[in-house]
Amino acid sequence: MVSGMSQSHPRITKAVIPAAGLGTRFLPATKATPKEMLPVVDKPAIQYVVEEAVSAGLDDVLMVTGRNKRPLEDHFDRNYELESALQKKGDADRLAKVQQSSDLATMHYVRQGDPRGLGHAVLCAAPHVGDEPFAVLLGDDLIDPRDLLLQRMIDVQQQYGGSVIALMEVAPEQIHLYGAAAVECTADSDVVKVSGLVEKPDVEDAPSNYAIIGRYVLDPAVFGILRTTEPGRGGEIQLTDALQQLVDTHTPSAAAEGKDGGPVHGVVFKGRRYDTGDRGDYLRAIVRLACEREDLGPDFRTWLRRYVTEEMQQP
């Protein structure tokens, strides 16, 4: 516990999942289907993300959707025709799988008219979220269900107040693919104080190798900032730019009076994470998760071992 932090912070109950991006890295698969619906083994990527929110105690889920939103809404809705067909066949296992996704959480949807960037997608959540801190989980970012990141971020937010981002150390040549954070140590070995942020920096401009990954716990003050955030890198309204402004405007005395959004901290994540919007990472996620499955793993691993051995024998 940090000394001097005696304030109690409002409980976090809502999760926002932006899933309105164009998914251009995955064309043509994403021409008519959101990339968040691509299967990772036998579940769409987005279901892992909703399950993660629910297991961190957030069962009020707002999904920000764009064009092609139908498959996302349908996946978390009942499918009576399919359910009755499975019931007639007496296929209880598959029936349970079909019902699981519609019973998971209280789902809400909001439409982002144009994909004007992640910051704009988050701003679309303002009327639903109101004046409470909330979590944001990127719909194409998969955190291994055994590595508890979001719960830790919520605990850190309850301890320090303000906002909390997720950071992961990456190789210097990878940092230009992410937002990067300048950080200072805290008393908690996995928590850093964020003193600056920059979206997709060149390696020589990066303040550190700490890359921002797709989980956030945000103070609602971010909405006020996003309303006036100009388009930044790539012509998009960047959440990173709004977070930078939260960092810039924060002072302990203003925060104590509730006049700013509080500090920004980072939780350093060392677990398994896949960007399912990237084709290479998507393939790695499938292979790894399939290998670890009790039902598919043994056969798949045997095949994979043989395949790799044969590959290594190629000249």
Task: Write out the residues near ligand UTP by the rule CB under 6 A.
Answer: 18-25, 64, 112, 115-118, 120-121, 138-140, 277
Q: How far is the CB of 166 from ligand UTP (least distance, A)?
A: 14
CB of 73 to ligand UTP, least distance (A): 15
What distance in Å separates the CA atoms of residue 53 and residue 50, rounded to the nearest whole number?
5
- From the CB of 46, what's the least distance to ligand UTP, in Å? 9
| CA gyration radius, the chain | 21
CB of 139 to ligand UTP, least distance (A): 4
Q: Residue 23 CB, nearest distance to ligand UTP (Å)? A: 5
> CB atoms < 10 A from the CB of 262, how many?
23
Cβ-proximal residue to ligand UTP, closest one: 21
Helix (H, G, I), strand (E, B) or coil at 79: coil
**By the 8 A CB rule, do 168 and 149 touch?**
no
What token pair was written down for 280?
A: 């290479």
Q: Which is nearer to ligand UTP, 212 or 255 (CB)?
A: 212
Q: How far is the CB of 31 from ligand UTP (least distance, A)?
A: 12
Complete DSSP assignment for 113-171:
SS---HHHHHHTTHHHH-SS-EEEE-TTEEE-TTS--HHHHHHHHHHH-SEEEEEEE--
CB 298 → ligand UTP: shortest distance, Å? 33
Nearer to ligand UTP, 260 or 275 (CB): 275
Based on CB atoms, which residue is closest to ligand UTP, 170 or 304? 170
Tokens 């928590």 belong to 191
Spatial distance between the Cα atoms of 217 and 5, rounded to a whole number of angstroms: 18
Which DSSP state fits 84?
A: H
Q: Quick one: tokens of 10? A: 């409002």
The nearest distance, CB 250 to ligand UTP, in angstroms, is 25
Q: How far apart are CA 193 and CA 179, in angstroms?
A: 16
Instruction: Output the CA–CA distances (angstroms, integers) from residue 279 to 69, 72, 216, in the order listed.
Output: 21, 20, 24
- Structure token pair of residue 220: 């609602």
Could you tell me the maximum CA-CA distance found in the chain, to the nearest angstrom?
A: 69
Q: Which residue lies nearer to ligand UTP by CB, 236 or 260? A: 236
Nearer to ligand UTP, 144 or 155 (CB): 144
Are 61 and 19 spatial neighbours (Cβ–Cβ below 8 Å)?
A: no
Phi, psi of 275 (to 5 degrees): -95, 100
- Structure tokens of 146? 């055994």
For ligand UTP, give the closer residue by CB, 17 or 156: 17
Q: Which is nearer to ligand UTP, 115 or 196 (CB)?
A: 115
Residue among 121 and 166 whose Cβ is closer to ligand UTP: 121
